[in-house]
Amino acid sequence: MVLIRALLVGALLAVGTLSDARGQGAEADPSFVGPPRPPLFDAVRLERMLEVADELPALTSLLISRRDSLIVERYYRGMRPDQAVNVKSVSKTLLSPMVGIAIQDGLLEGIEQPLSELLPDYYERLRAQGDWDSRKDDIRLRHLLTMQTGIETTSFGNYGAWVASADWAYDQLRRPMMCDPGECHAYSTGTSHLLSVILTRRSGKSLRRYMIDELFGPLGIPLGEWDRDPQGNYLGGNNMPLRPRDMLKLGKLFADGGRYEGRQLVPEAWIEESWTPRGTSPWNRHRFGYLWWSEKWGGETAHFAWGYGGQFIVVVPRLELVVVATSSLREGARGNSRRIRRFFDRDLVPAFGS
């Protein structure tokens, strides 16, 4: 094992010092004008970080890319590179670029479009019940993206009753207002599911088909089936199946400003807007943008998609770093997310910092 590790570090060191000739060690191009770029990694710090990763009890994959180089691709606990995993609420974040694409293509008017215009039939049903809260007329598309509708959450303790209901969109909308729209943050899968219903109606396609046509297909990413509501709408915000390599490809797309092979798949301005914090979760104190989380890890600003049990796509823009981690849902899932976030903060990001 020691020999294998030594060979790995030697190979990685070669990549880290020789793969980018601009400003790296003795092989730097003397004609290059501009500040030197730092090496992709420090081998000693990388090795120390990987030793910590190896001890994480439920980790099933760890992939790390910096600039255009894949530095780490490791699988644990029988995980295979071609195996798709349930990425849980990473699915929520992947709705954000779809909304940006829909706005660009004119399917949606913009983030200030009222929810009552997007789901008029549901609003009519709600008003007919006689117990109407007029504050729901003030809910805009942006409130769905930022989890600030003001409506009671259907996640956590309410999740079971929500998925057992006859109409998931209606069940979310019928719930009581906990605050005015925009005044409080309530993380809710029912809220992100409303985006699935909206995108399905506006595109004239299922959410899965729309995502394949506009994003996953151009990236060459297969997207399998996942849960649907009783009306046939794909669950907006949970249970998508993805391979870790494809998660990395998505992370790289966002790190590259929405461009892939010369084609602008997602508006660059939308990604920047999505990464701009719009509020703070009272649950974990992380900042939240348009379905993206943000936090300081290792002194760097990291934007991330996060799924229950330790499923992550992380982008650290200043370091040009993209990280993917997946985890078993069988072993200490709740505590594992906390352990992995601590690992990112204390070990992984610092291994690539200046």
Please identify, among 200, 234, 256, the residue that sits at the C-terminal boundary of a domain.
200
- Please give the helix or strand (H or E) that residue 194 lies within, else none: helix 189-203
pLDDT tens profile 329-345: 886 566 889 999 999 99
Query: Does 14 map to a domain?
Result: no
Helix axes 268-275, 95-104, angle to 10 degrees: 130
State pLDDT tens for residues 190-223: 999 999 999 999 999 999 999 999 999 999 999 9
| Three-state secondary-structure class, residue 271 | helix
Residue (of 163, 96, 91, 69) closest to 311 by Cα position: 91
Give the count of beta carbons closer than 10 Å to the beta carbon of residue 209. Answer: 15
- Same domain, yes or no, for 55 and 153? no
Q: Are strands 311-316 and 321-327 parallel, antiparallel or unpaired?
A: antiparallel
Spatial separation of the C-alpha atoms in residues 71 and 63, rounded to whole Å: 8
Residue 27 pLDDT more than 50? no
Tokens of 214: 């506009």
pLDDT tens for each residue of 245-299: 999 999 999 999 999 999 999 999 999 999 999 988 887 788 999 999 999 999 9
Does 128 lie in the same domain as 65?
no
Span 84-134, pLDDT tens digits: 999 999 999 999 999 999 999 999 999 999 999 999 999 999 999 877 899
Half-sphere exposure of 140 (CA within 13 A, CB side): 10
What is the model's pLDDT at position 33? 46
Q: Which helix (DSSP H) or strand (DSSP E) does residue 134 occupy?
A: none
pTM over 0.85: yes
- Give the domain extent around 273: 38-81+242-352
- With vertex at residue 137, the alpha carbon angle to CA 133 and CA 139, rounded to the nearest 5 degrees, is 110
CATH number for the domain harbouring residue 303 = 3.40.710.10
Q: What is the mean pLDDT of residues 348-353?
A: 94
For residue range 47-67, list pLDDT tens digits in order: 999 999 999 999 999 999 999
- Domain end: 200, 229, 252, which one? 200
Q: What is d(CA 69, CA 11) in angstroms, rounded to the nearest whole number?
A: 13
Structure tokens at 23: 């400003």
User: Does residue 5 lie in a domain region?
Assistant: no
* Domain presence at residue 156: yes
292 found inside a domain:
yes
Instruction: Tell me if 65 sits within 8 A of 322, measured CB to CB.
Output: yes
Quick check: 303 and 209 in contact, CB under 8 A?
Answer: no
Q: How far apart (Å, rounded) are the C-alpha atoms in residues 240 and 226?
A: 6
Strand spans (E) along the chain: 59-66, 69-75, 85-86, 241-242, 259-260, 263-264, 279-280, 287-288, 293-297, 300-307, 311-316, 321-327
Q: Which residue has the tokens 């219903």?
A: 197
Enter the tokens of residue 82: 């071609």
Partners of 241 in the β-ladder = 86
pLDDT exceeds 60 at position 25: no
CA dihedral angle for residue 211, residue 186, residue 104, residue 276, rounded to 10 degrees: -110
Separation CA 339–CA 322 (nearest Å): 19
Distance CA 135, CA 228 (A): 29
The one-letter amino acid at 77: R
Pairwise CA distance, residues 55 & 346, whole Å: 14
Is residue 208 in some structural domain?
A: no
What's residue 14's pLDDT?
A: 34
Number of domains in the chain: 2
Distance CA 149, CA 85 (A): 30
Q: What is the pLDDT of residue 332?
A: 57
Q: Quick one: 65 and 106 in the same domain?
A: no
- Residue 167 placed within a domain: yes
Residues in Cβ contact with 256 at an 8 Å cutoff, skipping those fewer than 6 apart:
none
- 258 and 157, same structural domain? no
The C-alpha angle with vertex 279 and arms to 273 and 283, in degrees rounded to 5, equals 130
Note whether 71 and 168 are same-domain residues: no
Residue 211 and residue 189 in contact, taking contact as beta carbons nearer than 8 Å = no
pLDDT(183) > 90: yes
Q: Does residue 106 sit within a domain?
A: yes
